[in-house]
Structure formats: C-alpha cells, structure tokens
Amino acid sequence: MIISSRNLLTSLLAFGSVAAIVIACGSDESKFKDGEIGPAIFPEAGFGEAGGPGEDLYKNDPLPKWCGPDSGVSVPQIGGTEECPDDKNKPGCGCATPGEEAPCWTGLRKHRNLGICKDGVARCLAKNENSNVWGECVGQVLPKPDAKGAEACSCFSVGEWKIANTSPCLRNESGGYYAYSTVYDNGQATNCGNDAKPIPPAGQAPQGIWSTNTLKVDCAGEFRLCFRIRAGDYNAPKADDCILGEVCTDANYPEANVEQQLPDLTTWAGKDNACAKKWESDTPANVSPGYGEMIVKGQTVRCEAIDDGAGQDFVFHRVQYCPRMCRDAANASAKECVECQLAGKGSF
C-alpha cells in the first residue's frame, strides 16, 4: 500500500536556487486490505447464569473490556456453558431447530472479525429424537500461530489510511539543502517554486495544509497517526535513518470498518539539513532516496494498547519514494522507475 501515484516529478528553478518536489511511488492511498465488519463490542463481561451457580463463563475466553463511550452500561448476559456459550454456536453444542444456520466461531473472542479472521456458518443437525447440535463451523478463518499483520487478527491489522499528498520539497539555497512540505491546494502538491506562493526559508513551514486524509481500520478507538519520511533503504530500514520530515494527526475513531475523515495533516519544516542533502544530493539519481513510515499509537475501545508491544510507536506500513531520475518524464519506462511504481502498489 503505497500512497502517491504521480509519475511525473519536476525539478524547479527559482531565483537561481533549486527546489524539487518529490513524490512517493504507487497509488493515491495506503490500502492494507479491507476487513470484515466486526460484531457489536460490549463493556467488560460479567458472569453468565446458565453454567451453574456463580460460574464465570468467560474465565478462559473473556469478552473484551470496554474503554469507549458509555462505559458502565450493563452487559448483555450470554447463556450456555463455558464449553458451549450461546454466542459462538460451536460444533456439538445444542441448538433449537434442525436446518437453521447461524454464525459460528471456535476461536478466542479477542480475535473475532479482526484481520483475516471471520465467522463461519454452522447448521443445526438432529442428534436424536430429543436433541439437536450444531454441525461443523464451515468457512471460519482463525488466526495463524505466531503471525503478524492481518494473519494475527489484532487491531490495526487491516484497513486503509488514505493520504492525498505525501510530497516533500527539497531546496538548495546558497549551497545548503533543506526540506519542507508541499502545500495541498485544489488537489495538487504546490509551493516548490513553480507557483505564486512564497518559498519558506529553512526551518519554517509554509502556510496551508500538507494533506487531507481518511482512516478505515478494523477496530475503533483513539489513535495518534504519524507519517514520517526517512532517508534510507526502503528494503532495509534502520532505526537511525535520518528524518527528513514528520507530521501527526489525532484520530477519534468511533466505528470500526467505516471510512472517516481525519484532521488535516499540517505543513512541516525539516529539522535536519544534512538529511536533506543526503536525500537530494548524496543519494545516486537512480536510487530511491528514502521511504515514508505510517505510525500509530493509541488505545482501542476494547482497552487494548496499540503500540509495538513494548509501549513504543507501531510502524504498520512503509512507503517507497521514487529515484530522482523518475522526475523526468523521459525516464518513465526506465527499470528503476517502473519497479518503483510496481512497489508502490503493494498492500498491507
């Protein structure tokens, strides 16, 4: 899932100094695979009634806790037993009417309808004259052991963060390089020297916005999303790759799997001029100068922390930028530019 699709990049001259607009490869959205619509999410579970006096039906597989709006609302009770809770319709468990079908799930509730995971369908079968049971759970998809991403069936494993513009400007002023954001105006990335907008000095962000953006992801919650541009190797990213620029937005995302408009990404100014030089001058023209990172940290309405597992930012996707040579339309068919565009169409 690569964000920006513009193929033609232009080096721009202004007052004897050079400013270049740089575009990420690929499509105009960050798509990392649409998930299924999840079930209703309830507050922290209490105790069921059908499994015996005071039996905790959820001690081995609790309902997700609730940290979203309306906390404290009473929880619907789930009947059945610990082995046969009514919300799962597991094979061999009792059912009412032969021939009826219902959603079924044999995995843990915390994975249900996240990532690749989805319910199956069970059919009620007559066991004997006096009882009926659910048959095989057909079509369910369970998480894969030790998997990451969508196959782990956890929050932020599938979804879409659409960013309309991810282009930085690189400028060489009196022999010194610096970076700043383009300005998103009427669907175009501007302000690298080819329009009437004033060019900002080093260290100063231009006026306007960098980009509009929307989010669609498989869990609801409150998240801080950041897009960070680094100079380095997209195929071998390093924690110490220098940062060309970064911008963040806060998302109050109340409903899973629904595309929602987020606050605009603001314009920015680079803080590392050496990084700008590495990007625009030191990296060979036929080599990608760097990549963008999509980062999230926050908490879901299920009270789950969204981070890297150690309390730090979670990088859930990376975007490759095209080599400088691809700014020239004459190089559109060059191997480096074709490969860049192909790489830009991957999905998370």
8 Å CB contact between 168 and 22: yes
- Name the least confident of 73-77, 85-89, 127-131: 73-77
At residue 188, the pLDDT reads 81
The whole-number pLDDT of residue 46 equals: 27
Kindly state whether residue 145 falls inside one of the protein's structural domains: yes
pLDDT value of position 128: 92
**pLDDT at residue 194, rounded to an integer:** 62
Judge whether 5 lies within some domain.
no
pLDDT value at position 277? 97
49-53, 223-227, 294-298, 337-341, range with the lowest pLDDT: 49-53
CA distances from 310 to 53, 248, 292, 306, 329 (A): 40, 21, 22, 10, 45
Q: Is residue 34 predicted with pLDDT exceeding 80?
A: no
Do 116 and 264 lie in a common domain? Answer: no
Question: In this structure, are 102 and 191 located in the same domain?
Answer: no
Domain limit, last residue, from 154, 173, 190: 154
* Co-location of 303 and 268 in the same domain: yes
Average pLDDT of the segment spanning 187-204: 80
Whether the pLDDT of residue 293 is over 80: the answer is yes
172 with 316, same domain? Answer: yes
**Contact of 185 with 150, CB cutoff 8 Å:** no
The pLDDT mean for the chain works out to: 80
- 102 vs 63, more confident: 102
Say how far apart CA 126 and CA 110 lie, in whole Å. 31
Same structural domain, 190 and 308: yes
Closest CA to 76 of 63, 67, 89: 63
Number of separate domains in the chain: 2
Expressed as residue numbers, the domain containing 314 is 11-35+158-343
pLDDT at 23: 56
Q: Are 336 and 188 members of one domain?
A: yes
pLDDT over 70, % of the chain:
77
Judge if 269 and 332 occupy the same domain: yes
Residue 214 sits in the same domain as residue 327? yes
Establish if 328 belongs to a structural domain: yes
* 88 inside domain: yes
Residues 104, 177, single domain; the answer is no
How many other CB atoms are found less than 10 A from the CB of residue 100? 12
Residue 226, beta-bridge partner list: 248, 295
Residue 1 belongs to some domain of the structure: no
Confidence at residue 159, expressed as pLDDT on a 0 to 100 scale: 85
**How does residue 30 score in pLDDT terms, banded at 50, 70 and 90?**
low
Same domain, 246 and 316: yes
Within a domain: 237: yes
| Window from 17-21, 101-105, 162-166, 176-180 with minimum mean pLDDT | 17-21
Domain boundary among 120, 138, 154: 154
Q: Are residues 80 and 119 in the same domain?
A: yes
In sign, the C-alpha dihedral spanning 331, 343, 289, 204 is positive
Residue where one domain finishes, among candidates 102, 121, 154:
154
76 close to 90: Cβ distance less than 8 angstroms: no
In a domain, 348, yes or no: no
Q: Is residue 74 domain-resident?
A: yes
In which band, very low, low, confident or very high, does the pLDDT at 171 lie, cut at 50, 70 and 90?
very high
Please compute the mean of the pLDDT values over residues 266-274 and round it to a whole number: 97
Query: How does pLDDT run across 257-266, given as a tens digit for each residue?
Result: 899 999 999 9
pLDDT of residue 90: 96
pLDDT at 174: 79
Verify that 204 and 253 share a domain, yes or no.
yes
Lowest mean pLDDT of 29-38, 169-178, 232-241, name the range: 29-38
Q: For residue 72, what are the contacts with CB-CB under 8 A and spacing of at least 6?
A: 43
pLDDT at 43: 27
pLDDT number for residue 2: 31
